[in-house]
Amino acid sequence: MLSLEPRDAVANETAPKAEPARTVVVLGDSLAAGYGLDPSESFPALLQKKVEAAGMKFTVVNAGVSGDTTSGGLRRVDWLLRRRVDVLVLELGGNDGLRGIPVGITKTNLQAIIDRTKQKYPRAQIVIAGMQMPPNMGVDYTTSFAKLFPELAKANNAALVPFLLEGVGGKPELNLPDLIHPTAEGQKIVATNVWNVLKPVLEKVSAE
């Protein structure tokens, strides 16, 4: 997991100052934390590799906490915002759904996280990772839950990853025995799902 603390710098008055890396914060749960895997196999760590391969100057901060809900993310966000945030990847909501938390509460919490981020950093770009619930949660709930992410993205002019686990969810060979958390191979697919949406956002931020 990447550190949330600023890196120590060695002063060198004769050397030209390097352009500081901008920050991408992935605020998420166990999917971002890479539950059951080495932190280097988590999708935020893989995104950092993709950023570097593309020659972009961004530091990806993994703020994933296993078991976290949108309420937990809301409690943590002010602390995270002490560090400049250029892009916020919001990957929360899955645990709300599995616990049957009312969709309205989840949506309100996610909106509050976005509002606080924009209040502190008005130019910050938001990327929302969409999630879906299994059918056993009931048709009404699963439908409402799936809709909340595109609705939030539209209301906040945010980029949307339609379904974070596209190509991974429901496939035993790409998930740990709990059938919830991706394997290392599954995380690679998740990272690609996010990168396809994140890359144009980073290009936009870089051009500003």
The catalytic residues are 30, 178, 181
Strands (E), the chain: 22-28, 58-64, 87-91, 125-129, 159-161
DSSP symbols for 108-121: HHHHHHHHHHHHH-
The neighbouring-strand residues paired with 25 are: 61, 88
How far is C-alpha 175 from the geometric centre of its chain's CA atoms? 19
The pair of three-digit structure tokens given for residue 41, joined into one six-digit string: 């196999």
* Strand order across the beta sheet in which 58-64 lies: 58-64, 22-28, 87-91, 125-129, 159-161
Cα–Cα distances (Å) from 13 to 9, 16, 119, in that order, read 12, 8, 35
